Every structure is written in structure tokens, then in C-alpha cells.
Structure 1
Amino acid sequence: MSYFGKNIRKIRSLKSLSQQAFAELFELKRGTLGAYEEGRSEPKLETLIKIANYFSIPIDDLLTTELTVNNLLKFKGNLTVEQDLGEQEFFIKVPCITTLNQNDYIKYYNKYSYIQDLPFLSLPINPDKKFRAYTVQNLEMSKNELGMFPKDIAIGELIPPSVYSKLNNGTLVFVITDKSIILRRLFITNDTYVLRAEHKNVDDVELQSKEIKEMWRVRYVFYHRLPETNFNIEEKLFQLEKDFDRLKNER
């Protein structure tokens, strides 16, 4: 098994290069590069030599080893982002599902070229995991003034189907089905996956595993506004006490 496709995809992310930019760098067609990255095709020897030499990576490593970001940063040459600045923090590109592209994502979620054209967030998170960002579009996961609101962004880690049944009840996920993307808490009963909202007026959604195209476990959330904190609650209580004392003094 060749790791060439995975490795060049990692190199592109590290250098923040689009498929088109990387392909042009080595006089390739974008579709050809996509085939390499998806494992549908292997490069010609001359292409392999060009890429290995350009980034000063041994050909054997490029083909037979799944390189980590730390491995790649140790190689010299054009792969180095900046030199003599100490240890560099690596930001990965996370494709983002938005209100405008949600319907297309449901159709093309497994098309690599489509995913590469999505808007993305650049985040300092584990580069060896696969993440997706989802823009919240409703109030289903809100409760009073707490929870998640439209325009908040949930960052999910891809969960393999073999792990679905091992997730703890109450895990926050977003699930891709044939018709929709659902952000809820997951509860598993026998072979049924129950997706439950925080909002009390929203009905549960029940799914079978075969109905789930993808499942992403929410690891991070970016709020469109500052979430309620204990400090804010204490501040409100303090203000109420002051108002109460003022009313007493006015009698």
C-alpha cells in the first residue's frame, strides 16, 4: 500500500496550497493530483522524483511511510515554513458546512474535489484527525439563554461507523443523512440512534445506522456571541441587590 496520496495531501495542508496550486507547481492536472490523493492512481517515476526532490523527502519515505506533521517539519528545503523561529505551531484547514452549501454537501460529502473547494477555518488542532466545521442554523440546541444559536460553529471529528455504538449517551454530534444535517445529542437504544435536541419543543429523530452517511463528534464550538458565564450571573445578582436596597431606601 502506498502512502503517497496521504503524504502529499498533508504537505499541501502544511503549505496551505490548493490542489490547483500544487498541481501547477509540478505541471500536473488538478484531476490527476486528486486521483493521487484519493489513492485511485500512483504517480509516474519522474513526478515522484520531482516532488521528493523539491521538498527534500526521501522517495522511500514519501511512498512507504505515513508521515506525520512533525516528520515533515524535520525535512529541509521548501517544506520548512519558517526557520530559526523556534517551534512552529501548525494550523490545519477545516472545511466548513454553511447555510448556503449544506444541500450540496449532502450530495457531494464523499467527493474529495468538492470538499477542497469548501470555505475553511484554519485552526491549531490535531492534524492527524479529520475534522469538519458546521454552522448552526436553528435553535434546536438552545435552552433559555444557554446552548448553541444560529451562526455558532461546531467543529466535529469524524467518527468511523464501527465506533458509533461505543459512543456515550449524550455525546454531542452532527449527523449527515440523505436529506439533512442534524446537530443533536446522541442516545443509543438497541440498534436505534436517537438524536435529541436541547429545546424541549423539538421532537427526537430516530435513525438506523444505514441511514447515517457521516457522523462527526463535536470537539470544539465557536460562539457567535459571548456565552453566558457565572461572572455574568453574579453581576446580575449584584445589580438586583443594589436595586432592592435602593427601593428600600426610597420608602
Structure 2
Amino acid sequence: MSFFGKNIKKIRGVKGLSQQAFAEVFDLKRATLGAYEEGRSEPKIDTIIKIANHFSISIGSMLTSELTVNELLRFKGDLTVAAEVVKKEEFTSVPCITEKNMKEYIQFYDKKNFVSDLPVLQLPINKDKVFRGYTVSSLEMTNHDKGLYPKDVVVGEFVPKEVIKKLNNGIVVLVLVEDALILRRLYIAKKEVVLRADHKNIEDKKYELKDIKELWRIRYVFFKRLPEFNDLLEEKMLFLEQEFTKLKNSL
């Protein structure tokens, strides 16, 4: 095993760069860079050459010995300036669940390495919160010609289990429960969770709170097509219908 991983990690430390900033400069994925640094993977020769040339470090030194801080300080430092610009423009990376990786996500949702290798959305949103993207794959959240269609993308904010009971009824959530990922509206009744589709011909799904593995409150939506903004009457009727249903369930 070479010293490449240790050396690039030390370079980042000297230059004050995050993994994301360093990876973007050299057209790498952050997860790939992390694998190099942890010794779980070895880079291709063209990657080694590109990084070594950028810092004016010999390939032999990069691979066969652990570079010292003093040595690194003598090498080129122009990446710091470039990386600072990248860092200022850096958006939040949101791992995205797609139709292709959904089955694997259901199985490995709690594995950090798996999540870090998911495709990501780069968005200008709060970096202090945890988000998850999801590509819609069904018509469950449609109502006539409104709602979410396949290929639309939603972004949810993570909700801790102890907070789920405090959520408002009727909000759209992405829920991981048993062996399924479900995108629906949330209704809570005591220890039970009701997941309701906007499509009228689809039955509710009911689960106990303890059976929920993950829950993400949908905060953002990216439509594949341009939605209609001029017809608000149907949306208002849907809202009133949902409010009537909540009132009926509470009686």
C-alpha cells in the first residue's frame, strides 16, 4: 500500500481544505477521495499524476514516503486561493435516492459509506441540517393533473423519532418502514401513523410509530415539467377536503 492517501490528507490539512473542496478541484467524488485517504482504494495513475503535478511533488515522493509539513509548505500554494473560491460557492450535498438504488437504500440506509456513495444534489440550503433527495417513481401523490409525477425530485429534512408526534397532520413525508420507502401525507393518531396518498384510488397505509426507521419531511420539490400556477381553485378545494377529513377523524 502506498503513502498516497496519507499524503493527500496531510496536504488538505496544510492547505485548510475540506474533502469536498479538494475533490472538486481534481474532478473526484468526495467519497472516492475519502476511500483514498482511508486506504480502502488506490487511485488511477492519471489521478496521481494530476495531483502530484499540481503541487510540484514528485510521484515517487507521493507514493513511497510520508511527506512532512515542512516539505509541503515549500510546495506550490496556489490551490489555497482557488479552493477558497470553490468553498465560498459550495452548496450543500444532498444524497439522492433513485429508482435504481432504492432497494439497496432500504437495506443499507444506516451505513455511512453507502449513503456517501449515493448520487448527490448540490443545493443552496441549510448545511447544518440533514437532507435526503428522492426521485418520485409512482403516481400516488397525484390528484387529477396536479401533484408529484415520476421523475420529479423531492428533498426532505430528517425528523428524529421523538419529534414525529409533533408534526402537523397532512404534511408530505418520505418514510422508510419495514421494506418500503413511502412518499405520502402523514396523519398521526396516538401510537399509529397513517400514510395517505393524494390519489383517490389508493388505500391508506398504517404503521406503528415504533416501526418507522426514518422519516424525512419534504421541504423542496423540483418538477420535471413546469407546473400550472394560474389555477389555484383546485388546490384550495384539496386543502379544504383535507381539513374536513382531519376534523372528521378527530370526532
Same fold (TM over 0.5): yes
Please tell me whether the aligned partners of residues 133 and 154 of structure 1 are also in contact (alpha carbons under 8 angstroms): yes
Root-mean-square deviation (Å): 3.0
1:161, 1:145 → 2: CA distance?
Answer: 34
Please tell me whether the aligned partners of residues 19 and 33 of structure 2 are also in contact (alpha carbons under 8 angstroms): no
Confirm or deny that 1:132 pairs with 2:144. no
Partner residue, 2:210: 210
Partner residue, 2:49: none
2:138, 2:19 → 1: CA distance?
Answer: 34
Q: Which amino acid aligns with 1:106?
A: I
1:81, 1:231 → 2: CA distance?
Answer: 46
Partner residue, 1:21: 33
Partner residue, 1:200: 200
Alpha-carbon shift at residue 207 of structure 1 (Å): 1.0
Deviations 1:91-137 (A, max 9, x none): 12111111111111000000111111111111111111111101111
Please tell me whether the aligned partners of residues 20 and 30 of structure 1 are also in contact (alpha carbons under 8 angstroms): no
Please tell me whether the aligned partners of residues 31 and 117 of structure 2 are also in contact (alpha carbons under 8 angstroms): no
Partner of 1:121, secondary structure, is strand
Partner residue, 2:18: 11
Please tell me whether the aligned partners of residues 11 and 79 of structure 1 are also in contact (alpha carbons under 8 angstroms): no
Please tell me whether the aligned partners of residues 145 and 228 of structure 1 are also in contact (alpha carbons under 8 angstroms): no
1:152, 1:169 → 2: CA distance?
Answer: 23
1:198, 1:93 → 2: CA distance?
Answer: 29
Please tell me whether the aligned partners of residues 170 and 185 of structure 1 are also in contact (alpha carbons under 8 angstroms): yes
Partner residue, 1:44: none
Higher mean displacement: 89-98 or 100-109: 89-98
User: 1:16-95 maps to which residues of 2 (within 5 A)?
Assistant: 16=24, 17-22=29-34, 24=36, 28-30=38-40, 78=80, 81-83=83-85, 88-95=88-95
Please tell me whether the aligned partners of residues 19 and 30 of structure 1 are also in contact (alpha carbons under 8 angstroms): no
Unaligned runs of 5+ in 1: 1-7, 32-46, 55-76, 234-251
Partner of 1:78, secondary structure, is helix
1:161/1:232 CA distance change after superposition, 3 Å: closer
TM-score, normalization: structure 2?
0.64
Q: Percent identity?
A: 43
1:103/1:231 CA distance change after superposition, 3 Å: same
Please tell me whether the aligned partners of residues 176 and 182 of structure 1 are also in contact (alpha carbons under 8 angstroms): yes
Q: Where in structure 1 do 4 or more consecutive aligned residues deviate above 2 Å?
A: 10-17, 77-83, 87-90
Partner residue, 2:100: 100
Please tell me whether the aligned partners of residues 173 and 216 of structure 2 are also in contact (alpha carbons under 8 angstroms): yes
Q: Which amino acid aligns with 1:100?
A: K
Please tell me whether the aligned partners of residues 133 and 153 of structure 1 are also in contact (alpha carbons under 8 angstroms): yes
Partner residue, 2:165: 165
Unaligned runs of 5+ in 2: 1-12, 42-65, 74-78, 234-251
Partner residue, 2:223: 223
1:136, 1:11 → 2: CA distance?
Answer: 32
Deviations 1:10-36 (A, max 9, x none): 932454452332453x5x4149xxxxx
Partner of 1:213, secondary structure, is strand
Partner residue, 2:147: 147
1:122, 1:90 → 2: CA distance?
Answer: 8
1:148/1:79 CA distance change after superposition, 3 Å: farther
2:34, 2:81 → 1: CA distance?
Answer: 13
